[in-house]
Chains A and B, each alone.
Chain A
Amino acid sequence: MSDDTKAPAAAAAKGGAPVSRERKRQGRRKALRTILLTGGVLGAGLSGYLPLLHARSKRLRPPGALDEKEFLQSCIKCGQCVQVCPVNAIRLADLVDGFGVGTPYIDAREQACDFSCDAVQCILACPTGSLTYHKPDFLPVREGAALPQKPTLIAKMNDPEPTLNMTERMGVARLVRPDSCLAMKGEGFKGQARGPGFEGRMRYAEVDRWKPIGIAEHPYDLPLCDLCMRECPIAGAISLEKFTGPGGRTHARPIVHENCVGCGVCEMICPTEPASITIVPREVWTS
C-alpha cells in the first residue's frame, strides 16, 4: 500500500541495491508469515483428527439422525433442533468433540428425549436432512438399526395416529448394571426418582399431556421398582419379567424389546447411581 508506493522512490534515491535487499527480506518475511497463518488455520481445522475427549466416543444423536459419518457431513450446526425441543434434551457439542463441534447430541442421563413434542419436532426443524424421516435411498440402513414398525407412543395411544414417524432407532437400552437394579434386587422405590435437585423434565400424560414437568415434582411410591418400564414412552419396548428370589420375595428383570428406540427415558428415570439401565448410542438390535 503506501509503503509499496514509497519504496521504489527510496530505492532510486539510495542507488537501488541495499533497499532491494531490504525488500527481498520483507518479501521473505511476508512469505513466512503467510505460511504461519496457513499452518495455524489448517492445524486448527484438522485438529478434529486429534484423539480429543469425545471425538471418538459415540454420542446419542437426536431422533432420525443419519449414521454418524453422514450426520457429521450434513449437519450445518445451526441448533434449530435445540430450539424446538420442549424438554431441552438436545445440546450442542463443544470443541472436545473435534469435527462434531456444534452438532446436537442428547445426554440421556441428564435429560432424555421423551417425545413430549409428539411429532419429533427436531426432525421437522432440521434444514439439511441430518435428522430426517426419509433417509435418502443411497444411504444404507445398518442391519438391526431399522425399527420393526413405526413406534407407538403410549401418550398418543388414543389418538387417530398414535405412531411416531421414525424408521430407525437412536440406540438400544441395556441393563448394564443388573446387580444394582432395584427390581433385580426385589426392592421398591419411594420418593423422587433422581432426588430433589434433579432438573430433568418429562411429560406425565396423566398430569398434563401438553406440559412436561420436573421429575422432582413427581414422587413415586412403588413396592417393586418398575420405573424404567412405567415411564418408557414407547409401547412394548420394555417389560419386567418377574421371578421369585431366594427369600421368597418377588424380583423382576427388565427386558428390553425390539421396539426400543433408544430415547433414554429409562436411563434418565433410573433411581440408582449410576444408572443400572443405559442407552448404548447407535447400537443396533441383535436378538
Chain B
Amino acid sequence: MSKLLTRRYLDQIKAMFGKEPEKPREISPAAQKIHFYKKNNRDEIGQLKHRRAHEKPSHKWRNRRWAALIFANLLFVLSYQLDIQVLEGALTASRFVGFHMADLNSALQVMLAHKHIITNLLIGTATVLLLWGLLGGRTFCSWVCPYHLVAEWAEKIHLYLAKKKLVTDQPIDRRLRTVFWIVFAALAVVTGYTVFEAISPTGILSRALIYGVGLSLLWVLALLVFEVFFSRRAWCRYACPIGLTYGVVGIVSPVRIVYSLENCFHEGDCRKVCLVPHVLDTVIKGRAVEPEVPLGPDCTRCGLCVDACPTGSLRFNIKGLSRLL
C-alpha cells in the first residue's frame, strides 16, 4: 500500500470507532490526473445519463449473501431438528463437525465475566478469529448474522415509509458503538454477568430459530420498530459491539471491496444503499487518494454497493490473490 493509502486506511480505522472521515490532505498525482480529467467532461455526463437510463438493478451479491446467510442458519436449525449434527449449538458457540467455534464477542464477554478460560473456549475463539480474519471481519455481520437479514427487511419498510414522507431517518452519533463496546466489556468484568449476551439480538434470534421462540424476541422486535420508524439500521450502525469486534478483526483481512476511480460517476448510489457509508467517503468527488482505494475495515462486505454501482467501480477483491483471479 502506498503511503497515502496507509494514511487513509488509518483514518478509516478511526472512522470505525466513530470519527467522521476527513477530506484527504494529499492526493497522488495519478489520482489527481483522473480527478482533473473528470471536471466538466461533457462526454462523461452524457455517458452517465445513458448508463443510468439503461441500468438494470442487479441483486447478484445480495442474493448470494442471503442464500449464504439462510444456509448457515438453516444448518444450525437442521443439525438439531433433523439431528444431522453438522453445526451444533447456536451462533454464540457451536461445533462444526466436532470442531469448536465460539463467537468472538460472546467468548470475550464470558472470559471477562468469568475470568477463567478453558481450552475448548480458547480453541473455539482462535478458530473463529482465524476464519473471519481470512473472510473479512464484518463479513460475519452481513453474511451470517440473522439480525442483519431481518434488519435489512425492516430497512426496506423504513425506506418505503421515508419515500412516502411518513418517517425520516434520525442519525445517531456513531461513537456510541465504541462507548457500548467499552461499557459492556466493563459491565461483564464488574457485574460478573454477561450483560450484553442477555440482549444480543444475534444470540436471541439464533436461539429462537434453533430452540423455539420466546419472550426475548420482544426485544428484537422493539429494535426493529425503532429502526423502521426512527433511525435507519440503528442497531447495526450505532450500537452492536459484535460488529465492532469483527470490524477490528477485519483490519487485517485480505477480503475487501476495492474502489476504482477511473469510471466512477460520483452519483453516490453506493452510499445510499450502504450500511456504513463512512467507508465509502472515498467515492465522493475529489476524495479518492489513489486510482484504486480499498474500503475501510468497518465495511461488512455485503456487496450492496457492488450491485448498486452502474459502472463496476466497486468490486470484491482478495489482497494478493487479485492477479490470480
Contact = CB atoms under 8 A, between A and B. Distances in A.
A29 B170 CA distance: 9
B21 to A, nearest CB: 11
Contacts of B182: none
Interface string A137-174: 01000000000000000000000000000000000000
B316 interface: no
Interface string A43-80: 01110100000000000000000000110111111111
A96 interface: yes
B210 interface: yes
A272 interface: no
B193 A80 contact: no
B303 interface: no
Nearest to B116: A136
A1 B271 CA distance: 9
Contact of A37 (B193, B210, B218, B234): B234
B180 interface: yes
Contacts of B114: 70, 73-74, 128
B249 interface: no
Given A79-B211, A127-B124, A98 B198 contact: yes
Contact of A129 (B90, B115, B118, B214): B118
Contacts of A76: 92-93, 102-103, 106-107, 110, 121, 194, 197
Interface in A171-218: none
Interface in A1-28: 1-2, 4-5
Contact of B92 (A38, A73, A77): A77
A80 B95 contact: yes
B38 to A, nearest CB: 17
Contacts of B184: 45
B268 interface: yes
B145 interface: no
Nearest to A1: B277
Interface in A65-101: 69-70, 72-80, 82-84, 92, 94-96, 98-99, 101
**Does more than half of chain A's interface fall in helix, strand or loop, or is it mixed?**
helix
Contacts of B140: none
Contacts of B284: 5
B89 A101 contact: no
Contacts of B143: none
Residue of A37, A42, A77, A138 with most partner-chain B CB within 10 A: A77
B178 interface: no
B58 interface: no
Interface string B175-203: 01001100110010000111111110001
A83 B116 contact: no
Contacts of B277: 1
Nearest to B219: A44
Contacts of B196: 45
Contact of A102 (B103, B173, B183, B207): B207
Nearest to B197: A77
A33 interface: yes
Contact of B102 (A33, A94, A127): A127
Contacts of A4: 20
B146 to A, nearest CB: 15
B214 A77 contact: no
Contact of A72 (B103, B173, B179, B193): B193
21 contacts: A1-B271, A30-B171, A33-B172, A34-B238, A38-B176, A44-B199, A46-B187, A48-B198, A69-B192, A73-B110, A73-B113, A92-B211, A95-B214, A95-B219, A96-B215, A99-B195, A101-B204, A128-B93, A128-B114, A128-B118, A129-B118
Interface of A: 1-2, 4-5, 29-31, 33-34, 37-38, 40-42, 44-46, 48, 69-70, 72-80, 82-84, 92, 94-96, 98-99, 101-102, 125, 127-129, 132, 136, 138
Given A76-B93, A136-B116, 5 more contacts: A34-B238, A94-B216, A98-B198, A102-B197, A102-B198
Interface of B: 20, 79-80, 88-90, 92-95, 100, 102-103, 106-107, 110, 113-116, 118, 120-121, 124, 170-173, 176, 179-180, 183-184, 187, 192-199, 203-204, 207, 210-211, 214-216, 218-219, 222, 226, 230-231, 234, 238-239, 268, 271, 277, 284
The 3 closest A-B pairs by CB, nearest first: A78-B93, A94-B214, A129-B118
